[in-house]
Chains A and B, each alone.
Chain A
Amino acid sequence: MNQTVSIQKRPPAQGTDRTTIVLLAALVVLLVAGPLLPRWAMFMLNVSLSWGTVVLGMLLLMRTGLVSFGQGLYYCLGAYAAGALHHFYGIADIMVMLLASLALAAAVAAVLGLLLAKYRSIFFAMLSLAFSMILFGLLVKTSALGSTDGFGLSAKTLAGITLGERWERYALFATTVVVAFCAAFGVHRYLSSHQGRLAGAIRDNELRVEYMGASVRRVIHVNYVIAASLAGIGGGLVGISIGHVDPEMAFWTTSGEFVFIAILSGTGSVLAPFLGATIFESVRSFAYEYSPNTWQLILGVTMLLVIMFLPGGLWSVFTRRKAA
């Protein structure tokens, strides 16, 4: 087996790098422009950013050389954690709900990560798929959680502040924007840290990483928990913004869509998943409207084209031009 080892140069030390500037600009623009957006656009951006957050976790795993066909597990857990708070305890605070999503996803991932950190390639994909299908099977048969129908939820307050009808949507939108920003910024910083840089090294040749004295399993475990936490928060956000959760969120096709966006976006930058998710959501809204039976056809063809001709994903278009 030939393995190509790509040598990455450390970017020149700048006060603030370009990604951070773009992130900050996007944060400000979205927060300011939010109230001006029509309802449908706000909703679509809301879902896109939440999905982007989930795919950001996939990006981290893919940088480590792992493709998970089971991120739906944490996406669904996050959504159900937020929903259960509202459904059973009447708690309807966005902050509390999201913390619950994060905590549940991270806790489950911490345990399952112990096992999954030993697996690679298709075995990693298969085992993560099996776990998410177990959750799907459980939820479908649990009538207390609404079986196949799931249940509804909504958020009324943000960190204890009661929101009026008018600000409810915007508060959720602003929260999503801030969460997505923090996630992207955090992962960006993490990837340029010592531990974060090991991800690419593991993908290239994990044996050498072990020789160098780093623990591959520990790095994978940590990255897995981070990815799961991001999927959990993303799930919580989507659950609240749609106002409904159901077991489909853990079905393997949901995880497949995350994989699709991750491949489409590429792993070049933490900005890529959000770009990819936004394109995905916009195309999906239009496709559902005009041609519901060719939506997956478009996805499949796009995916093949990206794999064949643009292995670095959409993001590589930007970086390639820069290099030229």
Chain B
Amino acid sequence: MNQFLAIVIDGIIYSSWLFIIAVGLTLIYGVMKILNVAHGSLYALGAYAATAFGGYWLAQGHPPMGSYGMLVLAAVFVGLIAGPLIERGLLRLVYGKEEVVLVLVTYAVFLILEDLTKLAFGVDPLSIPEPYGLLGSFEVGELMYPTYSLVLVVLSLLVAVGLALILNRTRQGKILQAVIHDREMSAAMGINVGRVYLVTFTVGVMLAALGGALTAPTISVQPGIAAEVIVLAFAVVVIGGLGSLGGAALGAVIVGMVRAWAVHKWPEVELFSVYAVMALVLIVRPQGLFAAPEARKI
């Protein structure tokens, strides 16, 4: 029983982390039909920026509670700089090419950002452990959990609910849905599609960076985290259905639970269980669990 509880709680924590790192990817794909390989690097950039911002804040002797604000600020900063830069400077030039070519373009961006990050922050591991320890821990039965994980769970729920509300309840959200549904028709109706793309991409980048910034206190930030995260994010969004918000949530829960189960019950399969599920879903339902199948165009 205790183990079951441990699996569920670990699963929930891991799922919410997965959702935060993957939701930006699915948002960008849903609107722009770009499978953004650079998502992982933007996550890494967010993590690095968090160590820099948080580190600066603490070094100045400001109250440590403020470091949480700095994490979020780091993500917003990365989003506002990298988002428009990549979208306006590069992606704008390749819209309309085949999806697979767009994957290659973002893969090139991934490679570039990998080294730019190394040049900017060095190759030694960095860390910002303070926000993690600051909140102490809480107990469930006999199990101890860091309160920071609880914050992560709440935040990812907020992100999910917030995005769903924006998409379905606001004018901007409706415009976004119109663009997703038919880009050309929306443009004909007077929607500034270029601006929608710019905003969407920037928000997607911000979410990636937020994932990184929130993860930074729990890991050692070093080269290589981008490559690990992006394949996990792929798995999550592919399982749920590319471009679907609910799909990303479902994918995150499935992957999170599967991994938590594997960690406790069958550690040997932990690493590949995620990809096994991904392959299985692709085999049975290639468009993912949530997205509707698309009619093949001739």
A119 and B286: CB pair below 8 A? yes
Q: Write the A78-95 contact mask toward B (1 if CB under 8 angstroms, else 0).
A: 000000000000000000
Q: Does B105 contact A (CB under 8 A)?
A: yes
Interface of B, helix, strand, loop or mixed by DSSP: helix
Please give, as numbers and ranges, the residues of chain B lying within 8 Å of A69 by CB-CB distance: 103
B100 and A131: CB pair below 8 A? no
Q: A133-B231, A133-B272, A294-B119 are in contact. Are A300 and B112 (CB under 8 A)?
A: yes
Interface of A, helix, strand, loop or mixed by DSSP: helix
B112 and A296: CB pair below 8 A? yes
Q: Does B65 contact A (CB under 8 A)?
A: no
Binds A, one of B3-11, B170-178, B273-281: B273-281
Q: Does A125 contact B (CB under 8 A)?
A: yes
A122 and B35: CB pair below 8 A? yes
A303 and B107: CB pair below 8 A? yes
B297 and A137: CB pair below 8 A? no
B231 and A301: CB pair below 8 A? no
Please give, as numbers and ranges, the residues of chain A lying within 8 Å of B283 by CB-CB distance: 115, 127
B227 and A122: CB pair below 8 A? no
Q: Write the B242-279 contact mask toward A (1 if CB under 8 angstroms, else 0).
A: 10000000000000000000000001111111111011
B103 and A297: CB pair below 8 A? no
Whole-angstrom distance from the CB of B114 to the nearest CB of chain A? 5
Question: How many A residues have CB within 8 A of the partner chain?
Answer: 44
Please give, as numbers and ranges, the residues of chain B lying within 8 Å of A126 by CB-CB distance: 234, 238, 278, 282
Task: Supply 8 further A-B pairs (C-beta < 8 A) apart from A122-B103, A131-B279, A140-B271.
Answer: A67-B100, A121-B100, A125-B103, A207-B298, A252-B227, A301-B108, A301-B112, A303-B104
Residues of B within 8 A of A (CB): 35, 90, 93-94, 98-101, 103-105, 107-116, 118-119, 123, 227, 231, 234-235, 238, 242, 267-276, 278-279, 282-283, 286, 297-298
Residues of A within 8 A of B (CB): 1, 67, 69, 115, 118-119, 121-123, 125-127, 129-131, 133-138, 140-142, 207, 251-253, 256, 259-260, 263, 293-297, 299-301, 303-304, 307-308
